[in-house]
Structure 1
Amino acid sequence: MSSAPTARPRRGLRVAATVASVAILLTSGAGWAAANRYGNQIIRVDAGTSGGALEDGEPLTMLVVASDDRAGLSYQQRKALHLGYDDYGQHTDTMMLVHLSGDGQSISVVSLPRDTRATIPAFTDSEGKRHSSRAGKLNVAYAVGGPKLMVETVEKMTGITIDHYAEINFQGFLTMVDALGGVEVCLPRATTDKNSGLDLPAGKQTVNGAQALAYVRARYIDPTADIGRMKRQQKFVAAMASKALSAGTLTNPVTVDNFLSAVASSMKTDDSLGTDQMLDLVDRFKGISPGRIAMTTVPISGNVRDAELGDVLIWDKVKSAELFAAIRDDKPLVSPKPAKSVTVAPGTIRVKVLNGTDVQGLGATAATDLAAVGFVVVGTPANAPATVGETTVIRYDSEWSESVKTLAASLPGAKLVAVKGFGPTFEITVGSAYTAAQKVKVVSASPSATADKPRTAADDLCS
C-alpha cells in the first residue's frame, strides 16, 4: 500500500475563518462594479465542490479553512509575528463547515478539530502517483492533497455535500483586523505566551492585527489545549463578525473597501464561486442579525493514543450524526431568541434619541426601530454633543431603575448611566456598533441559558 507523506507539526493559524463568509456578505454596500473588482483579486482553485447554484430558498454549505501560507509577509514580519521563516509546504489547522440557511435567516458554523482521526480517501498527487486510502489526522488531507482532498474527506466524514470552498492566509487575517480598526477581546487575566508572542492585560480591550494573530494562535494558555483554543477562536470570530456587520462598518465606504480588499487579496475560493454568486449571497444575508450567527464544535467522545498517529480526537458518533443531520435538514444551531422578559411595558417608556456617531442618519434609524418595538419616542433625533464610540449609552433617572431594564433588554450591550433627577424621559445616545432594537415582552424572567449552548456573534465576549 502506498503511503502519503506525513505532514510536519505546525503552529498554524487556527482562527475561525467564518470571517471570509462575512466578508462576502459585506459587498452589499459596494455594488456590482466594486464586487467584481474584489472578485477578480481572489484566486480560484479546483476544490472538487458541487458548485451548487444559489437558488432562492436553497441552503448552501461551505468549507472554510485558514492556511499557514506566509505569502505577502517579509522575513522581518514573520520574525516579529513568531511565524517561523521556512516555506516547506502549506498546512491548515482550521477547518469549518459554514452552513447558510435557505431562508437567509441564520448561519451555522461547525469547527472540525485538526487532530480528528479521519480516513483519508485514495488520491493521486501532483506528480501522478496514486495513494491508497489511509488513516490520518484530519488536517493531513489538506497537507498531502490540497483543497480537493480536504473537501472529499470532510464530505465522507459528515455526509454533507460541500457546495463551495474558501481559504484565507496569515496576511489576510492581519489586514482584515486592522481594516476594521481592531477587534474587541476579553481576557479573564493578564496572559502571555512566548511561542505566539501573546502579551495582553486582563479585561475587555481592542487588539490590532498582530495582537489578534497571537491571541488566536496561542496554544499553551488553555488547560484543555486545542479544544480550549478553538472555543477562544470562536469568541474572536464572533466579535469580528459583529463588528463587520455593525452600522459603523457597513455605512463607512472606506472601512468596507479596506476590509474587502484585505480579504480578496489573500483569499482562495473554488472556481465556481464567482461575483454573481457572491452578490446572490449578499441579497440573501444582508439583513442577518449577529444573534443568528451560531458557532459550535463537532461533539468529541474522547482523546485517544493511536500507535501510528499519536494523540487523536474521536467524534461522538451519535451526537455528531445528530448535528450533521440538522445541517443537512437546514435547521439552525440556535432557535430565534424569544422576546426579552421584563416587568415594564415599552409603551410606558419615553425616550429621546441622539446620534453619538459620525454615521449620518443612525439616530433616526434607531428612533424608528425603538418606535417599532413599542417605545414612545419624543422629539426629533439629533446629533449628540460628542461621539460615544461603539457602545450605545442610556442615561436615566435612578428612580426609574425598573423601567431601564426594559430598555437594556431591547438594546443589549448598552451602557447604563444613572443620573439623579434626570426626569422620566430616557436619553439614548446611539453608538457605532448599534444594529437594531429587540422586542421585549412583559412576563416573568426567562430561564438562564445552558452551559453547552452554541455560541453566537451577539454573545458577551467575557461569558
Structure 2
Amino acid sequence: MSLLVMSLTGYAWAAMQGLVSALTTTDVIDGNKPADGARDILLVGMDSRTDAQGNPLPEGLLDQLRAGVSDGEANTDTLILVHIPNDGSKAVAISLPRDSYVAIPGFGKHKINSAYARAKAAERKKLQDAGQTDSKSIEVQSNQAGARTLIQTVEQLTGSTIDNYASVNLLGFSEITKAIGGVDVCLKDNVDDPYSGAKFTKGQHTISGVEALEFVRQRHGLPRGDLDRVVRQQVFMAGMARKVLSAGTLADPGKLSSLADAVKKSVVLNQGWDIIGFAQQMKGLTGGQLEFRTIPVLNMDYNTPEDGQAIQVDPAQIRKFVSGTTGESQPAQPTGAGPAKPATTVDVRNGTSRAGLASTVLQTLTSKGYTGGQTSNTTARKSTVVRYPAGGQAAAQQVADALGSGATIEQDPTVTAGHLVVLIGNDYSASSDRVAQQAAAEPTENPAPAPGDDQPITANGITCVN
C-alpha cells in the first residue's frame, strides 16, 4: 500500500531526494531478468513487530495498533501483484488471498502467507549452525531468504516475473493513513468485531491510524471471511490512491513531508529500484486507470494435510486469469496428454520408500508426450521438485503442472541442457495427479467468483463493501 502511494504521488516525489537516500533496501531481486514490456511489483503487508530498520516497536504502540500476540513468525498478511505497462498508462493490482494453498519452492505445499516465514526460519537455522553469531546479520540474511522464496512462490503461481518488491509493516500502514488525512470507505452494514476491534456503522467513514488497521484486518463476522477482507483491502487502497491523486495531497508540503517520514520508517524496497524514474513514469496515471482484482479460487474450505483449512486454487487457472487481466500472453501449459517440446528429456529420481515410483512417474509423463530419460533412486526427501538448466524454466513449470502434486521448480546448473530432473518426494501422490488431470481436462466454466460485485474496483468513486 505504501508503494502504491509512492508511485501515485509521481512528480511530487521526484524532488524529494532525501527520501530516496533514506529508504531501506534489500537484495532480493535478480537484476538480470529480461524485460517483458511491463513492470510487475509485489506488494507485501507484513505482520511485523519491527520497523523497516529491524528495531522492535514499543509495546505501548503495539497495544494501540491492536497488534495482538505475535506468534514469532514473519507471516505476510497482504499480498498484491501490481502489473504496470511500460507507458504507465494503467495499473492492475491483483490480490492473492493469504490462505491460498500453493507450492512453495523447497517446502512443499502450504498456505502462501507462510512462504516468507518458512524460508526465513530455515535460513536462520542454517546460518546459526554454520557458526554465525551476529544477530543483526542473521536477521538481514534470513529476511532476504524469506523475501526471495516468497517472490519465487508468487512467480511460480502467477506466471509473472517480479521486477520490484516492497513491504510495509503495521506501523507504516497506520502512519501513512494519518499522513494523508485519512481514507474514505463505505460499509453495507454495521460491524462490531472484538478480534480486530473493528466497530463501524453502516455508510461512509473517513478512517486513519488504528481505525484503518481495524478496517483492513477484520475477517471474523464477514460473509466470505478472508475474501471479504481482501475486498476491504482493495477498496481501502483505491481510496488511498484517490486521496493521494487529489490536489489537496499533492499540493500540501506538510502532508507530503509526513508521508515521506512514514515511508522511511516502515517501507522496505528491493535494491536498485530507480524510484524517481518510476515516479516520473507513473505521473500520468489517473484513478480510473487503476483496477483491483482477485485471483480465482476453487474451494474456500479446503482441508489440507498439515495446515488446517485453506483456500484451494488452481495454478494453471490463475496464470490464465493473470495473463488475461494484464493483457500479457503466457506460455501454453500442457493439458491432459498434450505434447511437450521434443527437445526436453525428463529424468526421474525416487526420493521415497515406495519401490518403482520413479518408473511409474516417468510413465505418467511420457503418456503426456514427454521424452523419457533415466530413472533411479536418490536420498530421501519430503518435497517433489523439478530441476532445470538455464533457460529451462518454462519447460520445468509444464512438468510440475503435469505432475499435479504440488511440485516446485528450481534452477540447477548441474542439469544438462535439454534435460529436466524430477526428484520425487513423500508429498507426491498419484491421486493428486489424477485430480490435476481431471481439472485440466474439464476446466471450470464458472469458477468461484472473485470477491466484490463482479466488477473490478477502481480509484474512481467509493464502493460500499461487506
Asked if residue 283 in structure 1 is aligned to residue 280 in structure 2, the reply is: yes
DSSP 3-state at the match of 2:464:
coil
DSSP 3-state at the match of 1:272:
coil
Distance 1:138 1:289 in 2: 31
Identity across matched positions, percent: 31
1:40 to 21, 24, 36: 21
Q: Determine if contact 1:79/1:85 at 8 Å carries over to the other structure.
A: no
Cα gap change, 1:62 to 1:319, in 2 (>3 Å): same
Partner of 1:134: 108
Cα gap change, 1:245 to 1:328, in 2 (>3 Å): closer
Partner of 1:335: none
Distance 2:218 2:321 in 1: 28
Cα gap change, 1:166 to 1:329, in 2 (>3 Å): same
The more displaced of 291-300 and 249-258 is: 249-258
Partner of 1:71: 50
Cα gap change, 1:278 to 1:296, in 2 (>3 Å): same
Distance 2:150 2:453 in 1: 32
Q: How does 1:313-352 map to 2 (within 5 A)?
A: 313-316=311-314, 319-326=317-324, 329-330=327-328
Q: Determine if contact 1:188/1:462 at 8 Å carries over to the other structure.
A: yes
DSSP 3-state at the match of 1:265:
helix
Q: Determine if contact 1:49/1:270 at 8 Å carries over to the other structure.
A: no
Amino acid at match of 1:257: S
Q: How does 1:166-315 map to 2 (within 5 A)?
A: 166-273=166-273, 277-303=274-300, 304-315=302-313
Distance 1:30 1:231 in 2: 28
Partner of 1:351: none
Q: Determine if contact 1:102/1:330 at 8 Å carries over to the other structure.
A: no
Distance 1:254 1:267 in 2: 20
Amino acid at match of 1:28: Y
Cα gap change, 1:457 to 1:197, in 2 (>3 Å): same
Amino acid at match of 1:173: F
Deviation at 1:49, TM superposition (A): 4.0
The gaps in structure 2 that reach 5 residues or longer are 52-56, 120-145, 330-451
Q: Determine if contact 1:295/1:455 at 8 Å carries over to the other structure.
A: yes
Q: Determine if contact 2:29/2:163 at 8 Å carries over to the other structure.
A: no
Partner of 1:152: 152
Cα gap change, 1:21 to 1:460, in 2 (>3 Å): closer
Deviation at 1:179, TM superposition (A): 0.4
Which TM-score applies when normalising by structure 1?
0.63
DSSP 3-state at the match of 1:174:
helix
Distance 2:284 2:74 in 1: 36
The gaps in structure 1 that reach 5 residues or longer are 1-16, 123-132, 332-449
Amino acid at match of 2:47: D
Partner of 1:107: 91
Q: Determine if contact 1:81/1:196 at 8 Å carries over to the other structure.
A: no
Q: Determine if contact 2:93/2:292 at 8 Å carries over to the other structure.
A: yes
Distance 2:325 2:41 in 1: 12
Q: Determine if contact 2:11/2:280 at 8 Å carries over to the other structure.
A: yes
Q: Determine if contact 2:185/2:462 at 8 Å carries over to the other structure.
A: no
Q: Deviations over 1:349-391 (max 9, x none)?
A: xxxxxxxxxxxxxxxxxxxxxxxxxxxxxxxxxxxxxxxxxxx
Distance 1:115 1:262 in 2: 29
Deviation at 1:279, TM superposition (A): 1.5
Q: Determine if contact 2:157/2:319 at 8 Å carries over to the other structure.
A: no
Q: Deviations over 1:395-425 (max 9, x none)?
A: xxxxxxxxxxxxxxxxxxxxxxxxxxxxxxx
Q: Deviations over 1:199-224 (max 9, x none)?
A: 22221121121101011111213121
Amino acid at match of 1:251: A
Deviation at 1:228, TM superposition (A): 1.0
Cα gap change, 1:134 to 1:318, in 2 (>3 Å): closer
DSSP 3-state at the match of 1:181:
coil
Give the number of aligned pairs: 311
Deviation at 1:240, TM superposition (A): 0.9
Which TM-score applies when normalising by structure 2?
0.63
Deviation at 1:243, TM superposition (A): 0.3
Distance 1:88 1:321 in 2: 32
Amino acid at match of 2:244: A
Distance 2:211 2:462 in 1: 20
Distance 2:203 2:275 in 1: 37
Deviation at 1:86, TM superposition (A): 4.3
Q: Determine if contact 1:183/1:208 at 8 Å carries over to the other structure.
A: yes
The more displaced of 210-219 and 79-88 is: 79-88
Q: Deviations over 1:170-219 (max 9, x none)?
A: 11100100001111111223221111111222211211211010111112
Distance 1:292 1:262 in 2: 26
Q: How does 1:353-368 map to 2 (within 5 A)?
A: none
Deviation at 1:453, TM superposition (A): 1.8
2:73 to 89, 92, 97: 89
Partner of 2:456: 454
Amino acid at match of 1:170: L
The more displaced of 23-32 and 89-98 is: 23-32
Distance 1:60 1:51 in 2: 14
Amino acid at match of 1:282: A
Distance 1:208 1:329 in 2: 35
Distance 2:208 2:263 in 1: 16
Distance 1:289 1:27 in 2: 11
Amino acid at match of 1:237: M
